[in-house]
Amino acid sequence: MAKTVNIWIDGHAIEADPSMNIIEVADKHGIHIPRLCYHPDLPPTANCGVCVVDVAGNPLPKRACCTPVTEGMKITTNSPKLRSYRKTLVEMILSNHEVVCPTCAANNKCELQTLANNLGVDPDHLPTILRKQPKDDSSLSIIRDVNKCIACGRCVTVCNEVQTVYALTFADRGFEGHVDTSFGKGMANSPCVNCGQCTVYCPTGALREKSEIDAVWEAILDPDKHVIVQEAPSIRVSLGEEFGMPLGSVTPKKMYAALRKMGFDSVMDTNFTADLTILEEGTECVAKLKAGEKRPLITSCSPGWIKFMETYYPDLADCVSTAKSPMSMFGVLAKTYYAQEHKVDPAKIVSVAIMPCTAKKFEARRPELRDSGYQDTDYVLTTREFIRMIKEAGIDFANIPEEEPDEGMSFYSGAGTIFGATGGVMEAAIRSAYFLVTGKDLENVEIGAVRGLEGVKEAAVDVPGFGEVRVAVAHGLGNARKVMDRVREGLATKGESPWHFIEIMACPGGCVGGGGQPYGNDIASRARRGLALYEEDRNLPVRQSHRNPEVTRIYERFLEKPNSPIALKLLHTYYFKRSVTSGQVTEQATHKHH
Amino acid sequence: MKYFRTHVLVGVNEASKQAGVEKFVAALRKELEKSGLQEEVNVLETGPLGFFGKGICLTVYPDNVNYENIKAEDIPELVAEHFLKGRPVHRLMFDAGSRFTPKFNYESRIVLRNSGIIDPESIDEYLGTGGYEAWEKALLQMKPADIVEEVKQSGLRGRGGAGFPTGLKWSFTAPIKCDQKYVVVNADEGEPGTFKDRLIMEGDPNQLLEGIMICARAVGATKAFIYIRGEYKLSIERLRKAIAQCYEYGLLGKNIFGSKFDLDLEIRIGAGAYVCGEETALIESLEGNRGNPRWKPPFPGVKGLWGCPTVVNNVETLANVPFIIKHGAGEYKKFGTPDCSGTKVYTILGDVAYPGLCEADMGTTLRTIINDYAGGMKKGFRFKAALIGGAAGVILSDRLLDVKMDLNSLNQYSAVLGSGAILVMDEHASIVDMLWSILRFFRHESCGKCSPCRNGTQQLYDIICKIRKGEGTEQDLDLMLLIAETMQQTSFCALGQSPVMPVRSALENFRDEFVASTKK
């Protein structure tokens, strides 16, 4: 450790790292300084002023979130004056906020609500200065309600600095200053990729998913409809925490039981199509490797990443796997294979996906994803919406007896379940690609080099008969940008990519950190959920996608073999080029296989 | 060189330009030629003359006669009577009908010593007054550390409002070893009622440039920017000319005077946001970003423009520097008070007889400034209050008329010298209206970044509107103070920290008036 400094916080002598701000040091030592806009995962925006502390020798208080500690600093975090200022400050914020807590999506999760409660503010002290504005509900994924926005700037920071999407910015100034999209044209006409990280970091309910709960209930209760549901890998490790169970509880069978109790006609699992994806994508990858292709193969599961690529890297669209995402593979198969096997009219099938993701709502409505002859996936619910439905249905999730899913499209391997964590798709692909090239299984299926939360992970795998395969894994679009820039540069200068195979997930941490995950979705809880997926993988009887019996069966009965003509027709897609200012399609970038 | 018996100085500024000063000067020259006086009477276009008359104003030397509001049709009479026969035309004189003669007091002028005397568009005239001798001295005879030390010794403090010791500021940047440092001149004068920097730049742009050069040498900056308000068209024009002349004369550019020191100077034009006068917001704006302030630390002196060490100084501050270097800190300290040296340039406006610009020693009382420089109160009405330092200033009552105007003395009364604007109000002025106007200004000029300022300025504005309409209560007065104090303690930058000054001083000094305006 570098040189430390000696400081005192409320009289406690502390040896602190001078690269840290006061609030980080205080947090580390269990001293809680009230805060609102500060979030440990993000660089401080220093907009709210709540975290002010007194530093001896300074006439005015300092903001703890952005003031570095220095030698001899004497800090007071709690005094009658500071408490009075913080209280008035929060009263001012509330006076410009639509206070509708009981009906707000963020109720009980709202950081402003908690803070106001903790500080004991008087809601009637100041008259309201709120000027009601219409909501921005132009996006298929995300609703922005400026009336609840406190302009803390977290969404702008995560969008621009972490994700480098540049959809959100501050517009106007003074009291009229607000968060907006470029040219004020709404989320749907911005470069927004629907990743939803803004909804995760929003301290209030100003940013949230566009809810499809009502439509799903209606379908469930319609006796004429056959409602089939799939759940993404990360859902099973993100529910328990909301129902009093420890963070990272692995609860797939409680999840199935709850879904069946809610009234879904068929409870299947996205993990099954995750395994299927590995065979389709893995086959594509092996073909590229064998052909000595200089351009890399990049994964295509993450819809936020796909729109990001279409917007900022359309010149590399041909490098992205044509395989649809596991959700969309499931969607098309539900209305073809499943309908055929169960003799159900596909017109009556309503396909619902439960996803940790807001971008999946956008993906489901892509006009090209209708290879079943219908919209392949009808509704997408985020984890948050699913939790609300469980509560609405009055289900005691923690104590519900476990149940098995329905058969046919629900069996999964450990490789399928780790799709939910960054590096998981890569690890699953390596497990099967190795087999596809050598005809042998890997001795140790756990590939530590691609696990963990480092922004860009690299590994080289020695594949007998082929040689060294270089892979990279990036999570968070800011990291994706770094990787893509290097690919672009490598292709331009050396004529080849630095890596053969690249996994990209739009959200930091992968799907466990998705934009549809429960509020309070910080890096630490993402890591814990990711570990839960690896734990489930370790305990599953089958750990490689090509060993999944239901996958073998679907190829035998319906899809013939990976990348067969029918597989290419149903399970593969193509991409577009989009405007960097409006996010709208400008031209088609790649074509569908025939 | 030609010698003239009479010099007619014509003040060319935004106001006289509107009155058609260019045509007027041509007509005057023509009339003088007609009378055969072109070899005897010199017409000089110059900057602010030091008094604020209407329209086109003239000063005639050596007679020391000031004319105001001269029209083209007055020219024949003026030439025939004054310039030919030597009889000043009383009818057209500035102080016609009054016995007051504004005190120009040239002895205590540093910053304005050439203003209204030389042609600001001619570098030769500036050189003729000993200009750029300090630059030569700083470059060829002094070490950078000596310059910093001299400025430190002079006791010069920032004239932009905060009053930070200038030498100390330079001493943070000077020792840093790096490839690029910058000097940024804050000419984004936005404090309401303040226009001293404009007049300094219009009247004597070369003096500012010389100050910038010396500063750049002292801290080791090879690039300087003047960030100036877009509205200051004449200042921009004159600075551009002066900079071009400096390059031509080898005062700027590569290897100046063979010293191996390079310096480039550029003008950047602001778009009119008040907050861009805050140094870090100014830097953001200069970089091409939204003009939001940055958190300090790191201070600009260590990490400023494009991450490089940057000294940001106000126009008036730098205009003092050539004098200090040329004559030494000791000479400079003869001006002002022992703990607050030098002079201060004020703009006096409001209900005084002669609103205008003046330069007075630090420590001169408010009463002296109003009476000796501005001709006292207009029409003999009683003094009620003065807003010192612009919107981010304080409203003083007559109890403080004899307080010394310098940074330390005013501090004792929680007042500030600020930008040097003095807005005088007579017995008819409403303090409630004044505060309303100030709070409306802050509401408009908040950048909106931080919540105390964004919401607080709106709350304060709403409350003062209520009081002004007679719908407020006494509790609202306390609430206003609580909000303003909370803003001061929790705001991100000086803008949000400022409203407390006018609010508190107005409520302390004129509470009765506010109470009278509340609901009965």
pLDDT tens across B265-320, in order? 999 999 889 999 999 999 999 999 999 999 988 999 999 999 999 999 999 999 99
Q: Whole-angstrom Cα distance, residue A213 to residue B360?
A: 73
Collect all residues of chain B within an 8 Å Cβ-Cβ radius of residue A92. 451-452, 455-456, 459, 483, 486
| Contact call for B450 and A47, based on CB within 8 A | yes
Collect all residues of chain B within an 8 Å Cβ-Cβ radius of residue A129. 455, 458-459, 462
Residue of B nearest to A169 (CA): B290
* Residue range A428-452: mean pLDDT, rounded: 92
A281 is catalytic: yes
- Residue A135 to chain B, least CA–CA distance (Å): 20
A148 is catalytic: no
- Residue B123 to chain A, least CA–CA distance (Å): 41
Could you give the percent of chain B with pLDDT greater than 70? 97
pLDDT of residue B280: 95
Collect all residues of chain A within an 8 Å Cβ-Cβ radius of residue B497. 60
From residue A107, give the alpha-carbon distance in Å to each of A297, A333, A530, B264.
Answer: 43, 38, 26, 58
Could you give the percent of chain A with pLDDT greater than 70? 99
The label of the residue with tokens 């001619």 reads B122
In this predicted structure, the answer to whether residue B487 has a pLDDT above a threshold of 60 is yes
Collect all residues of chain A within an 8 Å Cβ-Cβ radius of residue B499. none
Mean pLDDT, rounded, of chain A? 96
| Contact call for A52 and B489, based on CB within 8 A | yes
pLDDT of residue B109: 85
Q: Whole-angstrom Cα distance, residue B395 to residue B410?
A: 12
Kindly state the DSSP code that residue B195 receives in the 8-state scheme.
Answer: -
Collect all residues of chain A within an 8 Å Cβ-Cβ radius of residue B459. 92, 95, 126, 129
Q: Quick one: which H or E segment has residue B78?
A: helix B75-78
Per the CB < 8 A criterion, the answer to whether A194 and A188 are in contact is no
Residue of A nearest to B292 (CA): A173
In this predicted structure, the answer to whether residue A498 has a pLDDT above a threshold of 80 is yes
The catalytically annotated residue of A324, A360, A361, A457 is: A360
Mean pLDDT, rounded, of chain B? 91
Name the amino acid, one letter, at A269.
Answer: D
- Residue B333 to chain A, least CA–CA distance (Å): 29
pLDDT of residue B101: 58
Collect all residues of chain B within an 8 Å Cβ-Cβ radius of residue A127. 462
Per the CB < 8 A criterion, the answer to whether A267 and A406 are in contact is yes
pLDDT of residue A41: 95
Lowest mean pLDDT among A553-557, B262-266, B408-412, B455-459: B408-412
Per the CB < 8 A criterion, the answer to whether B431 and B506 are in contact is yes
The distance from CA B236 to its chain's CA centroid, rounded to whole angstroms, is: 15
| Contact call for B450 and A172, based on CB within 8 A | no
pLDDT of residue B102: 57
Provide the 3-class DSSP secondary structure of residue A460: strand
* Residue range B360-389: mean pLDDT, rounded: 91
Identify the sign of the CA torsion B245, B249, B255, B257: negative
Collect all residues of chain A within an 8 Å Cβ-Cβ radius of residue B454. 96, 151, 174-175, 177
Residue of B nearest to A128 (CA): B459
Collect all residues of chain B within an 8 Å Cβ-Cβ radius of residue A88. 482-483, 486
Residue of A nearest to B451 (CA): A48
This prediction has a pTM of 0.91
Of the candidates B336, B382, B383, which has an alpha carbon nearest to the alpha carbon of residue B362? B336
| Contact call for B447 and A68, based on CB within 8 A | no
pLDDT of residue A417: 97
pLDDT of residue B98: 56
pLDDT band of residue A362 (cuts 50, 70, 90) is: very high
User: What tokens appear for A499 in the block?
Assistant: 């890596």
Of the candidates A148, A150, A91, which has an alpha carbon nearest to the alpha carbon of residue A121? A91
Looking at the partner chain, which of B290, B446, B490 has a beta carbon nearest the beta carbon of A89? B490
User: What tokens appear for B166 in the block?
Assistant: 């200038």
A321 is catalytic: yes
A52 touches chain B (CB under 8 A): yes
Interface with A, mutate which of B292, B414, B446, B459 (most A CBs under 10 A): B459
Report which of residues B53 and A457 the model is more confident about.
A457
| Contact call for B452 and A126, based on CB within 8 A | no
In this predicted structure, the answer to whether residue A15 has a pLDDT above a threshold of 80 is yes
- Residue A90 to chain B, least CA–CA distance (Å): 9
Looking at the partner chain, which of B292, B446, B456 has a beta carbon nearest the beta carbon of A92? B456
What is the CB neighbour count within 10 angstroms for residue A196? 31
Collect all residues of chain B within an 8 Å Cβ-Cβ radius of residue A126. 459, 479, 483
Residue of A nearest to B462 (CA): A129
pLDDT of residue B52: 72
pLDDT band of residue A303 (cuts 50, 70, 90) is: very high
The catalytically annotated residue of A141, A238, A321, A413 is: A321
Looking at the partner chain, which of A63, A127, A173 has a beta carbon nearest the beta carbon of B448? A173
* String of DSSP letters for A140-184: SSEEE-GGG-----HHHHIIIIIS----EEEES-GGG-EEEEGGG
Residue of A nearest to B448 (CA): A174
| Contact call for B451 and A170, based on CB within 8 A | no
* Residue range B460-489: mean pLDDT, rounded: 96
| Contact call for A93 and B485, based on CB within 8 A | no
Residues A72-82: tens digit of each pLDDT: 999 999 999 99
Angle CA(B81)–CA(B85)–CA(B88) in degrees, nearest 5?
Answer: 50
A170 touches chain B (CB under 8 A): yes
- Residue B481 to chain A, least CA–CA distance (Å): 11
| Residue A483 zone, left/alpha/beta (φ > 0; ψ -120 to 50; rest) | alpha
From the number of C-beta atoms within 10 Å of its C-beta (0-12, 13-18, 19+), residue B289 rates as exposed
* Helix boundaries (H) for B220-354: 233-248, 279-286, 315-327, 329-332
Looking at the partner chain, which of B273, B462, B492 has a beta carbon nearest the beta carbon of A49? B492
A536 is catalytic: no
A160 touches chain B (CB under 8 A): no
pLDDT of residue B161: 82
Residues B122-164: tens digit of each pLDDT: 999 999 999 999 999 999 999 999 999 999 999 999 998 888 9
A84 is catalytic: no
The catalytically annotated residue of A149, A301, A357, A507 is: A301
Residue of A nearest to B458 (CA): A175
Looking at the partner chain, which of A66, A84, A89 has a beta carbon nearest the beta carbon of B451? A89
Per the CB < 8 A criterion, the answer to whether A422 and A505 are in contact is yes
Collect all residues of chain A within an 8 Å Cβ-Cβ radius of residue B482. 84, 88
Q: Whole-angstrom Cα distance, residue B373 to residue A391?
A: 77
Residue of A nearest to B443 (CA): A174
The catalytically annotated residue of A293, A368, A403, A496 is: A368
In this predicted structure, the answer to whether residue A594 has a pLDDT above a threshold of 80 is no
Q: Whole-angstrom Cα distance, residue B225 to residue B212?
A: 9
Within A290-430, strands assigned E span 297-298, 349-355, 379-382
Q: Whole-angstrom Cα distance, residue A152 to residue B512?
A: 39
Q: Whole-angstrom Cα distance, residue A445 to residue A447?
A: 6
Size of interface A-B (CB pairs under 8 A): 106
Of the candidates B159, B447, B489, B490, which has an alpha carbon nearest to the alpha carbon of residue B275? B447
